[in-house]
Amino acid sequence: MNSISVGYLNVEGLRMDKHQACCSLIEAGLFDVLFLSETWFPKNFNYMSHPYSYIHTPFAKFQEKSRQSGGILCIVSPRVRPLIRSHVVMSDGVFLDIDGTKVLAVYLPPSLSIDQIDESLAAFPDYSLLFGDINVRFRGISRCPSVSRPELQEYWHRWSVQRSFVMAKPTQEPLSISQMHKDVFDESHSDLLSSRFSPTVGDVYSLLPNCELDHCFHSTSLDIRLQLLGSAQFNLKTVHRYFLRCMIPFAGSLEMELREGLGRFHLELLEKPGISAILRQVWTRLDESIDWNVSDVDVYDSVLVSAIHSVAEEVLGTYDVLR
């Protein structure tokens, strides 16, 4: 039985060095899928041009008199990317169907009312795992002296019961630093790792014992293992002190050499009436979220190809020629 590692971090502003560091965590195999929330929609570098960058929530209008907020970026490893059957993106979350395992990653601002939270979650397809920054400190779990208001805590307890979900409890099972991890970090394009993080092979990563604002809920039918991987050890210093790292059992093959290059778009759908109009609508929406002011022709080409693939995946869908 294989497993897929799905992670989440409130990154508190995506910079190039943070993005590169998180891509190195993918490269090292610590995560197969990683959601970064509160990106704040950076404009100073093309984060979507990286081959691991998969999808980002819709661009939000910039605040004129205050700091920008929001934004979730999903980055995906090459071995898992072909397994993504579908995705749904809203302002508060990203839904992925990973070969039948349905995951929803959310950022729910503290300004949302309970009715707005309900409305936001109801906009997504059915899912078996929900995790992310829900901005709730639960009594008996949080170590902060001040917990969230009782009605908000009660909402999530009631929500869990109604959906037959449980809150995942973090395990303290050690996670060791491997030689591959060290090699990837030493060669990382991010100075946060290559210059400031000197791991020793065989040592264990720092794991936190309790959740604060970021939580993981899952269906009782889904058996997962949750670790809280300290973010400061990777020099990703945010108020949110940990990555959520969910290990999800997976019965299929994850061998890249068996799957890479075998995905095909359903091109026959191009002949159906109305498809061209839908393609134009999706392209227009994506086009508004991309900064096309790129001077490097190779980077521009990469951004353009990635955008075309993203639109084709959303409208046409893909199939695996091995199936």
Q: Where are the domains of the chain?
A: 2-258, 262-320
Asked if the model's pLDDT at residue 176 lies above 70, the reply is: yes
Q: How far is the C-alpha of 293 from the C-alpha of 314, rounded, in Å?
A: 25
Q: DSSP letters of 107-175?
A: E--TT--HHHHHHHHHTSPP-SEEEEE-----TTT--SSSPPPHHHHHHHHHHHHHHTEEEPPBP----
pLDDT tens digits for 184-211? 999 999 999 999 988 999 999 999 999 9
Residue range 98-103: average pLDDT?
94
**What angle in degrees, to the nearest 10, is found between the helix axes of 179-186 and 16-27?**
150
pLDDT of residue 260: 43
pLDDT of residue 295: 74
Report the percent of the chain where pLDDT is more than 90: 67
Tokens standing for residue 147: 């917990």
pLDDT of residue 39: 95
Report the percent of the chain where pLDDT is more than 70: 90
Least confident piece of the model among 5-19, 146-160, 161-175, 301-315: 301-315
pLDDT of residue 288: 80
Comparing 36 with 293, the larger pLDDT belongs to: 36
CATH superfamily of 2-258: Endonuclease/exonuclease/phosphatase (3.60.10.10)
Question: From the centroid of its chain, how far is CA 213?
Answer: 16
Strands 101-107 and 93-98, bridge-based pairing: antiparallel
Asked if the model's pLDDT at residue 322 lies above 50, the reply is: no
pTM for this predicted structure: 0.78
pLDDT band, residue 300 (cuts 50/70/90) = confident
pLDDT of residue 263: 62
